[in-house]
Structure 1
Amino acid sequence: MVFTPTFPCSHRHRMTEQEEDEELLAESNKYAKVITRFEESPSYIINGTMRDYQIRGLNWMIDLYENGINGILADEMGLGKTLQTISLLGYMKHFRNIPGPHMVIVPKSTLRNWENEFKRWCPSLRAVCLIGDQETRATFIREVMMPGEWDVCITSYEMCIREKSVFKKFNWRYMVIDEAHRIKNEKSKLSEIVREFRTTNRLLLTGTPLQNNLHELWALLNFLLPEVFSSSEDFDAWFNTNSCLGDQSLVERLHAVLRPFLLRRLKSDVEKRLLPKKETKVYIQLSKMQREWYTKILMKDIDIVNGAGRTEKMRLQNILMQLRKCCNHVYLFDGAEPGPPYTTDYHLVENSGKMIVLDKLLPKLLEMGSRVLLFSQMTRMLDILEDYSVWRKYSYCRIDGQTSHEDRQRQIDEFNEPDSKKFIFMLSTRAGGLGINLATADIVILYDSDWNPQMDLQAMDRAHRIGQKKQVKVFRFIQENSMEEKLVERAEVKLRLDKMVIQQGRLMDNKSNALAKDEMLAMIRHGANEVFKGKDDEFTDEDIDVILGRGEEKTEELNKKLESMGESSLRQFTLDVPTNSVYQFEGEDYRNKQKAIVGMWIEPPKRERKANYAVDAYFREALRVSEPKAPKAPRPPKQPVVQDFQFFPPRLFELLDKEIYYYRKTVSYKEVEGKTPEEVMEYSAVFWERCSELQDCDRILAQIERGEAKIQRRASIKKALDAKMARYRAPFHQLRISYGTNKGKNYTEEEDRFLVCMLHKLGFDKENVYEELRAAVRSAPQFRFDWFIKSRTALELQRRCNTLITLIERENQELEEKERAERKKGRPKGLYVKSGKRGIGTQDGRGRRKKKVAE
């Protein structure tokens, strides 16, 4: 028998040498991460090398990934955020053996550019693009996406929303969102949907500075780290928004929070090989025709321009919009272009000061071998510029909001190809300002300026970016002594303040963004006296070099002025408002000329070059003298409010009507002023006997017929409403509308029932009936929480009632036809019952309504 000794700890497992070695190795690996840092462009990046700052950006994103942190790459536009992102996803595949799936969400306009950049820089990453109509997308999802033979899926914001059910099926490794300020509102549809996708890592790309308040900053940080930044209230409390602008410790605290998540570099700091862009503000005179139209616009609302009336924000915005169009070209207004016949000739140039300067500048640029990006806010201005380019035989490309995705990319490729013959690329500022690389051009012309200066910066950076071999020159056209001067001045102040505050990691208050009433009024008033006084001046025919030289001097003066202003001065900056009246100029009082000019104002429709403009109608309307309107019936003293539920005797309503008639009699009110009923009847007999002698006999008779038709129409509507109401004992509860296929989506049946019943009760042909109907809706207890119906205007209620009346008339007609059909079959009248409205309902055993013929 073998004796086996026992030991106190015999229940423990004795570790072998191999097991101990494995445990020690595992422990060492646990705390020793493999840190990969690149000193030069990675081997998987081909067809070029990454710049040193781009490699530093890649290393920064790798550090974020290794530490499990999401971040914001906020390099200035044109520094290659796309390439840095591609290099990160390439690192995931080639160094971490994680090929995907990755998701890149970008603006629709940059989809093809992202796809091309993947193929160019890192073809080992298999990138696919989800875009197209429903049928195309379904085929792509079935045949490409679901099999999973790809690494990166590029898609647009809109596709994320439409195909969210498909995207939810994947476990995404990296989600990249380009132009990430699109999700600064956490309650927007896009922001809510992307938060539902399953992702391991998230990266935001934005070339614009952080947004202007703490809540928008919190929304981005909440998307990156929802566990850390879970409550916006706690975030606001921690930063104490009230002291955001002055507390240095708060700024330091904000820097400390942002440092791990945000990387932002400027071109001036990192890209030394890229020459700084040079901007020249070109100040241009108004042409004679522009001055005339500018005056008309100011005179149309002279009261609000002079500050005599209420400064309504919408009216101010409308005036500014019309003035901006006038500064660009008067042909943006219907009736301004000479014709018919409509020709493309020098008049297209001479009637706009900006076009005159452009016509001088472009031949000089063409001779120098430059290529031009021409931006405008207005698509119809691009129409005019396109006509001009055809006339001058300049080869051009064009992109605006209506350009298809395929056509957009084709034109970009044509413009960028070696030895391209395209001289001008016309773009609408907002539709052509994102993610487009047009570095083959070296001249940027801003035909007009955007309210948001960041939009103009994005436009400039289509040319001022990596790959640009020349110095980029920017010419900003500004109409001298017009509202454009103040618009640009305000934008410059906003940019200076942005650079001073936001670029340092601090936040601005929202007040700096809103365009206040006094600022709009200052823009409108600016230069008004100069426009009025100089209305007969001709455009000075100066050489283009003289114009540009003067613009450089004024640009330098404005820059020095702004550089001398500190942060407090910039915050308190206000647009100067002239205090003298603009009614008086050149010794004339234009106060009484307003009415004459108002009739000449035409709201411009969409400009189409080959359209047959209705110029006859325009001049007919412009020269028409309005006839005095018939006097309105005097308003009687206020009467007591009488509601139906108070059940007053019918005699009370007769007395109220008599009070009205008595009041009109005391003030000598007559339906036909100055004539007795007998005189009117006598004149009527003579009129019908001798009306053929009148010169405008046909027009007068047609007017009478229209009036009679209107009276008959009112009578038929009243008859239709009476017939409809007569079918119900309690119409406010029982009335039903036969919608057919015209139900609509806005109004409920309860709302429609109330409108019909109240319209009948108030009287369809009563004056101001829809104002009374609106008041009844707002005071009805059943609608006390129905904000849709309570917010409708009298005009909107009138439109809805017109629709309901049409449905009621159609229903009455159908009933009459069916009754006639029944009578032909020999049944007595009244036996036909529709929808139980004339019957007495009883319940059967299954709860369904039975119909009985009313006796």
Structure 2
Amino acid sequence: MGYLHEFRGITGPHMVVAPKSTLGNWMNEIARFCPILRAVKFLGNPEERNHIREKLLQPGKFDVCVTSFEMAIKEKNALKRFSWRYIIIDEAHRIKNENSLLSKTMRLFSTNYRLLITGTPLQNNLHELWSLLNFLLPEIFSSAETFDEWFQITGETDQQEVVQQLHKVLRPFLLRRLKSDVEKGLPPKKEIILKVGMSQMQKQYYRGLLQKDLEVINAGGERKRLLNIAMQLRKCCNHPYLFQGAEPGPPYTTGDHLIETAGKMVLLDKLLPKLKHRDSRVLIFSQMTRLLDILEDYLMYRGYQYCRIDGSTGGEDRDASIDAFNKPGSEKFVFLLSTRAGGLGINLATADVVILYDSDWNPQADLQAQDRAHRIGQKKEVQVFRFCTEYTIEEKVIERAYKKLALDALVIQQGRLSGQKTVNKDDLLQMVRYGAEMVFSSKDSTITDEDVDRIIAKGEETKAALDAKMKKFTEDAIKFKMDDTAELYDFDGDKEENEADFKKIVAENLVVELPRRERIRKLQ
């Protein structure tokens, strides 16, 4: 937009459509790079929007209209009045379904040029890619069927050829920029997996959850119930106080018990003073907003200053928190964020440490979260600490995430982009069963009193071992021809053998068949 204005004399009007959470950042960046452009943020309640429509959004009074996906749909009649020079869609994979309301609405606007900005243009299959290209150039990419035919793998054309064809077609329409291309001086990002044991209370809950749902696990259960068990086990790995009745009280008091009852909290309590001492600033991500409440109590107890953003934080509060954290000389040491709400479009490059308290099923969400700190403007090396509870479902979730990333990197398998969005039932069963032996064999806490440097050194070894395993996995997958029986997501060992082991462990540890208990009410 700056180039068009400065060199070509084209002043607009342009429209930027982006997620609501990033509009503040868009306005800041326009003011920073192109202060000459008059930008209007089109957002707010009906009265505010009415004022913007009548006073600001008038021909000749503005150059750029920045609005959200929801507003573009709600205010389409007001926006249709203009003939736009450029329509720019941020997080453009949101229009990958050509039949969605957003995609249909965006096609109504009159515009000379269209620009899509996305970090994931190739997500699941070729049809979604066609949908984006069709939006850019409806005359050229008019038929989805023809597009699919171009990229069919047949006997004569092998995968390599199809990939080359696809790249050739995409090249004129795609400008791919890595951060390292744009900013040569960006320091690297280093990820370390820190493994930690469970407290006595966590073991008690973990064992109880497995025992309660024995018949589901033994019988294989349906996916929905297995997912629920998996969710409960992950809550247990995070903190037992996520379950109702676990925390002593009322009255509820904040004290050392908040730390000692969860392995990850013990680890966090060792790590933060060290980071504070070296003048680092920290982002902590979790998927569970209830866990952020516990972390808030902990930070207050230890006297650390912090900010917080989750899905319920309003736009103005978000912007205020980000500004408070980023301002020069800020006293804020920690920023608590929920992975999905805080992983989008926020710039927190004043932090140089990212702690992933728990991992997302979708590895892309964790990568987006890390990139809140690893952005242009970052002056220090970014360290990512991924917390993982040993011998539990979490180890398998992390391994699956790495496998999914490795598969995504292979791009195309049999004319379709490899991408398994959901976890299948067998994988879930393997994950839930993993580590049961350790949990049943001892009731004692497995939290060690190792110092944090030793834990970090072990974490680096764990990460190196996982990288080596993934390298072999990728090599195997490249040699591999997709067929219906293949399971790239297969986990360690033979399923029947695992099942027999699991039944044996349970039989040895349960003298009597436990009665069915009422399900613990989900707090999430």
For the 8 Å contact 1:172–1:200, the answer to whether it is kept is yes
1:244–1:418 distance in 2 versus 1, CA, 3 Å: farther
- Which residue does the alignment assign to 2:134? 222
Q: 2:460 pairs with 529, 552, 555, which one?
A: 552
Name the SS of the counterpart of 1:593 in structure 2: coil
Tell me the distance in 2 between the aligned counterparts of 1:239 and 1:286.
50
* Residue 296 of structure 1, aligned match among 208, 215, 231: 208
309-318 or 219-228: which moved more? 309-318
- Distance in 2, Cα, partners of 1:244 & 1:105: 43
Q: In the aligned structure 2, how far is the partner of 1:584 from the partner of 1:594?
A: 16
Contact (CA 8 Å) 1:281, 1:551: kept in 2 or not? Answer: yes
Report the Cα offset of residue 242 of structure 1: 6.5
SS of the residue 2:8 aligns to? coil
Residue 83 (structure 2) aligns with:
171
Q: For residue 100 of structure 1, what is the aligned residue in structure 2?
A: 12
1:603 maps to 521
Q: Deviations over 1:595-620 (max 9, x none)?
A: 1xx326421346xxxxxxxxxxxxxx
Residue 265 (structure 1) aligned with residue 181 (structure 2): no
Asked whether the equivalents of residues 378 and 428 of structure 1 are also in contact (C-alpha less than 8 Å), the reply is yes
Report the AA paired with residue 178 of structure 1. Answer: D
- Whose strand proportion is higher, 1 or 2? 2
Mapped partners of 1:443, 1:289: distance in 2: 29
Contact conserved, 2:42 with 2:52, CA < 8 A, in 1?
yes
Offset of residue 194 of structure 1 = 0.5
User: Which AA in structure 1 matches 2:205?
Assistant: W
Write the mapping of 1:280-291 to structure 2, written as runs, cut at 5 A. 280-291=192-203
The 3 A distance-change label for structure 1 pair 417 and 242 is: farther
Distance change >3 Å, CA 251–CA 243, structure 1 → 2: farther
Alignment partner of 1:574 is 2:490: yes
Which deviations, in whole Å up to 9, do the C-alpha atoms of 1:439-480 show, x marking residues without a partner?
Answer: 110000000011111111111111111111110000000011
Q: Give yes or no for the alignment of 1:109 onto 2:109.
A: no
Whole-angstrom CA distance in 2 between matches of 1:406 and 1:244: 57
Aligned length: 511
1:331 is paired with a residue of what secondary structure?
Answer: helix
**Residues 344-743 of structure 1: pairs in structure 2 closer than 5 A:** 344-501=254-411, 508-510=417-419, 512-569=420-477, 572-576=488-492, 577=495, 578-585=498-505, 588=508, 590=510, 592-595=512-515, 598-599=516-517, 601-605=519-523
Q: The residue matched to 1:599 in structure 2 has which SS?
A: coil
1:640-690 deviation per Cα after TM superposition (whole angstroms, max 9, x unaligned): xxxxxxxxxxxxxxxxxxxxxxxxxxxxxxxxxxxxxxxxxxxxxxxxxxx
Q: CA 1:422/1:180 → structure 2, altered by over 3 Å: closer, same or farther? A: same
Structure 2 Cα separation of the partners of residues 439 and 232 of structure 1: 41
Distance (whole Å) between structure 1 residues aligned to residue 220 and residue 406 of structure 2: 33
- Write the letter of the residue equivalent to 2:39: A
Q: Contact between 2:203 and 2:445, CA under 8 Å: does it hold in 1?
A: no
Q: Deviations over 1:765-820 (max 9, x none)?
A: xxxxxxxxxxxxxxxxxxxxxxxxxxxxxxxxxxxxxxxxxxxxxxxxxxxxxxxx
Shift of 1:270: 5.3
CA deviation profile, 1:538-590 (whole Å, cap 9, x unmatched) = 52222111211111111111112212333443773511252334344487352
What is the deviation of 1:340? 1.6
Report Cα offsets for 1:397-438 as digits up to 9, x if no partner: 000011110110011111111111100001001101111111
Conserved? CA contact 1:111–1:155, under 8 Å: yes
1:205-264 Cα distance to aligned partner (Å, 9 max, x none) = 012352221100000000000111111111112222667994322222111110001121
Which letter does structure 1 place at the counterpart of 2:448?
T
Contact 1:244 1:507 in 2 (8 A): no
Secondary structure of the 2:381 match is coil
Q: Distance in 2 between matches of 1:244 and 1:346?
A: 67
Alpha carbons 1:430, 1:455 under 8 Å: kept: yes
Q: CA-to-partner distance for each residue in 1:516-546, whole Å, 9 max, x for gaps?
A: 1111111101101111112234522221112
The whole-number CA distance in structure 1 between the counterparts of 2:176 and 2:155 is: 25
Runs of 4+ in 1 over 6 A off after TM superposition: 242-245
For the structure 1 residues 244 and 552, does the alpha-carbon distance in structure 2 shift closer, same or farther, using more than 3 Å as the test? farther
In the alignment, structure 2 segments of 5+ residues that lack a partner are: 481-487
Q: Which whole-Å CA distance do the structure 2 matches of 1:368 and 1:125 have between them?
A: 41
Distance 1:604 1:141 in 2: 44
User: Does the 8 Å CA contact 1:128/1:150 hold for their aligned counterparts?
Assistant: yes
Matches within 5 A, 1:184-199: 184-199=96-111
Alignment counterpart, residue 158 of structure 1, candidates 48, 63, 70: 70
Residue 483 of structure 2: aligned partner: none
Using the size of structure 1 for normalisation, the TM-score is 0.58
CA distance in 1 between counterparts of 2:156 and 2:86 reads: 34
Q: Would you say the 8 A contact 2:199–2:444 is kept in 1?
A: no
Structure 1 pair 241/129, CA: closer, same or farther in 2 (3 Å)?
farther
Identity %: 57
Paired AA for residue 409 in structure 1? D
Letter in 1 for 2:517: G
Q: CA deviation at 1:268?
A: 4.5
User: In 1, distance between residues paired with 2:491 and 2:28?
Assistant: 46
The C-alpha deviation readout for 1:467-523, integer Å capped at 9, x for no partner, is 111100000000110011011001111112223436x9x85234x333111111111
Deviation, 1:291, is 0.7
In the alignment, the residues of structure 2 paired with residue 194 and residue 498 of structure 1 have an alpha-carbon distance, to the nearest angstrom, of 28
Distance 1:564 1:408 in 2: 42
- Change over 3 Å in CA distance of 1:481–1:340 after alignment to 2: same
The 2-side partners of 1:485 and 1:105 are apart by 39
Residue 317 (structure 1) aligned with residue 227 (structure 2) = yes
Determine if contact 2:83/2:111 at 8 Å carries over to the other structure: yes
Contact kept, 8 Å, 1:302 with 1:594, in 2: the verdict is no
Residue of structure 2 aligned with 1:231, choices 131, 143, 150: 143
Q: Higher RCO, 1 or 2 (CA under 8 Å, sep at least 6)?
A: 2
In structure 1, C-alpha distance between the alignment counterparts of 2:435 and 2:157, rounded to whole Å: 35
Supply the AA of the counterpart residue of 1:289. M
Q: 1:153 to 1:580 in 2, by over 3 A?
A: same
1:702-851 equivalences in 2 (<5 Å): none
- Give, in angstroms, the shift of residue 324 of structure 1: 1.1
Structure 1 residue 269: Cα displacement: 5.2
Contact 1:395–1:421 at 8 Å: present in 2 too? yes
Identify if the C-alpha distance between structure 1 residues 266 and 244 changes in structure 2 by more than 3 Å, giving closer, same or farther.
Answer: farther
Counterpart in the other structure of 2:248: 338
In 2, the alpha carbon distance for the partners of 1:106 and 1:161 equals: 12
* CA separation of 1:153 and 1:289: change in aligned 2, threshold 3 A: same
8 Å Cα contact 1:245/1:508 also seen in 2: no
User: Retained in 2: the 8 A contact 1:533–1:586?
Assistant: no
Q: Is the 8 A contact 2:202 2:261 kept in 1?
A: yes
Change (3 A) 1:90 1:376: same
The equivalent residue for 2:33 is 121
CA distance in 2, matches of 1:315, 1:241: 38
What SS class does the counterpart of residue 514 from structure 1 fall into?
coil
* Distance in structure 2 (CA, Å) of the matches to 1:188 and 1:400: 26
Residue 593 (structure 1) shift: 3.0
For the 8 Å contact 1:208–1:454, the answer to whether it is kept is: no
Which among 108, 119, 124 is matched to residue 212 of structure 1?
A: 124
